[in-house]
Amino acid sequence: QVQLVESGGGSVQAGGSLRLSCTASGDTYSSMGWFRQAPGKEREGVATIYGNEGTTYYTDSVKGRFSISRGNARNMLYLQMNSLKPEDTAMYYCAAASFVGSWINRLSPKNFAYWGQGTQVTVSS
């Protein structure tokens, strides 16, 4: 049974840091990513990681501040978030897929079939 469980969200002041974790079970995932959705906005790709080589992609607004990584056991996914800003406030979701497709947009939610329930991140000014 496919299951993705996120943890590590919370409330932090601007400039602070959080580390999100995702525990994956039920399959071997070649593609994984973090997405976020703020109230009234569409879900957007934050960071994704593909294949054994671990090629990463980031949305422009988080480049230099966030870092995506996978654990050695490859069933763990992390998002280290530094220098957080109020505009980073959102529900953050872990996503996974069993293969690496020839997708043009490497940050599209459409690339991923499996989703966690989300963890809330709130950044206050």
What are the tens digits of pLDDT across the range 31-62?
999 999 999 999 999 999 999 899 999 999 99
Question: Residue 100: is its pLDDT beyond 90?
Answer: no
Looking at residue 86, the DSSP 8-state letter turns out to be: G
Partners of 93 in beta bridges: 35
N-term to C-term CA, the chain: 40
Provide the pLDDT for residue 122: 98
Residue scoring higher pLDDT (99 or 94)? 94
- In this prediction, residue 73 has a pLDDT band, given cuts at 50, 70 and 90, of confident
Q: Which candidate, 74, 23, 80, 75, places its Cα nearest to that of 53?
A: 74
Query: What is the longest distance spanned by two Cα atoms in the chain?
Result: 40
Question: Residue 92: is its pLDDT beyond 90?
Answer: yes
**What gap in Å lies between CA 33 and CA 98, rounded to an integer?**
12
In the chain, % of residues over pLDDT 70: 100
Question: Residue 79: is its pLDDT beyond 90?
Answer: yes
For all residues of the chain together, what is the average pLDDT?
95
Q: Which candidate, 8, 119, 98, places its Cα nearest to that of 50?
A: 98
